[in-house]
């Protein structure tokens, strides 16, 4: 079954989804993210990396200032904005592609929108801040709803999922309902199964294997397997190859977008997967 085509509205822009895989380049400006914590916490380095991601072929840059690695503790709005603001100010008007901010806080989203951000990527699926949908609606922003169980501090203690994909689909349906109740237009929503977010290693593989079931929600799908622990690799080279395999599996299972760290390195795998996907139609 081919990917359904969507026109995703993000503020004043429209992103065509379904013809090829849209690449969301990850930029963490945190000191403690699971993969690249501290590497881009200095604003000038973060600015340079964002420009590089666009040059390498990213269609969107997703900037996160609060870690969601396992056992991470939440940070205050002030700390998150202190990390994020200098980068957004430097980037304003510099990129030709949309900027997404990875946050669940409506105050941060509002400030980011004021600096030209077009998309909010909520890692909690609107479970932490009920005011976020109203903020997204106010600015006509795009919204990515990520599936997450519990919090990073509780993930290790969560019980297993008997049927992971059924749970993910049902929970994301509830997320979409919350967004719609807050006024967010369906044309502005993308869903993400939240690989690694409160799921055991084998459960992530099961979600990937049945990713196409998310098509029931009739919304664009984003998949973010990049460098995740469930890939179970001990070397950078192994992790890159495993990410390429998971990205390819995501595309062939119907993902419209992939969220990745290594844009240049994974571009060949994405292009081949897109070519194969065309013959699924």
Question: For residue 1, is it within any domain?
Answer: no
| Confidence check: pLDDT of 37 > 60 | no
Would residue 239 count as lying in a domain? yes
Span 22-32, mean pLDDT? 91
Q: How does pLDDT run across 225-255, given as a tens digit for each residue?
A: 999 999 999 999 999 999 999 999 999 999 9
- Is residue 19 scored above 80 in pLDDT? yes
Domain range for 149 is 6-278
Residue 187 lies inside a defined structural domain of this protein: yes
- Does residue 189 lie within any of the structural domains? yes
Determine the pLDDT at residue 36: 54
Whether 91 is in a domain gets the answer: yes
Q: Would the pLDDT of 84 be above 60?
A: yes
CA 46/CA 48 separation, integer angstroms: 5
In tens, the pLDDT along 54-63 reads: 999 999 999 9
CA 194 vs CA 51, 76, 257: distances in Å? 26, 23, 13
pLDDT band for position 34 (cuts 50, 70, 90): low
Number of domains in the chain: 1
CATH of residue 91's domain is 3.20.20.20
């Amino acid at each position: 079954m081919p990917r359904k085509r969507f026109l995703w509205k993000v503020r004043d822009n429209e992103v065509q989804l379904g013809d090829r895989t849209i690449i969301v380049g990850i930029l963490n400006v945190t000191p403690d993210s699971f993969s690249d914590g501290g590497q881009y916490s200095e604003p000038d380095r973060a600015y340079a990396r964002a420009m590089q991601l666009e040059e390498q072929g990213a269609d969107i840059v997703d900037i996160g200032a609060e870690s969601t690695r396992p056992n991470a503790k939440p940070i205050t709005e002030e700390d998150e904005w202190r990390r994020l603001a200098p980068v957004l100010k430097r980037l304003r008007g510099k990129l030709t592609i949309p900027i997404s901010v990875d946050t669940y806080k409506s105050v941060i989203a509002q400030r980011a929108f004021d600096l030209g951000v077009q998309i909010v990527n909520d890692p909690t699926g609107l479970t932490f801040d009920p005011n976020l949908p109203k903020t997204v609606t106010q600015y006509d922003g795009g919204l990515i709803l990520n599936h997450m169980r519990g919090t990073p501090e509780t993930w290790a203690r969560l019980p297993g999922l008997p049927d992971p994909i059924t749970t993910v689909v049902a929970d994301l349906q509830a997320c979409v309902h919350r967004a719609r109740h807050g006024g967010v237009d369906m044309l502005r929503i993308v869903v993400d199964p939240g690989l690694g977010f409160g799921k055991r290693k084998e459960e992530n593989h099961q979600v990937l294997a049945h990713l196409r079931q998310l098509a029931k929600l009739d919304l664009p799908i984003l998949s973010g397997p990049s460098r995740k622990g469930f890939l179970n690799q001990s070397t950078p080279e192994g992790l890159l190859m495993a990410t390429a395999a998971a990205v390819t599996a995501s595309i062939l299972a119907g993902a419209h977008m992939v969220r990745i760290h290594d844009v240049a390195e994974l571009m060949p795998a994405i292009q081949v997967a897109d070519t194969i996907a065309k013959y699924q139609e």
